[in-house]
Amino acid sequence: MFLAKVVGNVVSTRKVEKLTGSKLLLVEPVDFEKQQSLGPPLVAVDAVGAGEGEIVLVVQGSSARLTPATESSPVDATIMAIVDFIDLAGTQTFRK
């Protein structure tokens, strides 16, 4: 599981049936302390209604298929939470 910032949308009119109706977002992994980029963006299925600019928790691998929105779907990354705040060593580093 890692923190990421939603940086865009991915629109695909043709996809496998299991993904029909799924919202695909472009997320960029970010640093826990400064919310600065840690690497290139990747596509994740949105299971919680996230929007552009939000900090989210993303899960990858087989765990990405364990949410009700992605069960038995061919996904490798799922947004499974929207972050309200981050408290690191007693200091709040992020607040929505």
Q: Encoding tokens for residue 42? A: 């990747």
Distance CA 96, CA 78 (A): 20
Which CATH number is 64's domain given? 2.40.50.220
In the prediction, which pLDDT does 67 show?
86
In the prediction, which pLDDT does 50 show?
97
Distance CA 96, CA 92 (A): 11
pLDDT tens-digit profile, the chain (96 residues) = 999 999 999 999 898 988 888 999 999 999 988 878 999 999 999 999 999 999 999 999 988 888 888 888 899 999 999 999 999 899 998 898
- Rounded to two decimals, the pTM is 0.90
Q: Can you give the residue range of the structural domain that contains 27?
A: 2-95
Q: How many domains does the chain have?
A: 1
In the prediction, which pLDDT does 82 show?
98
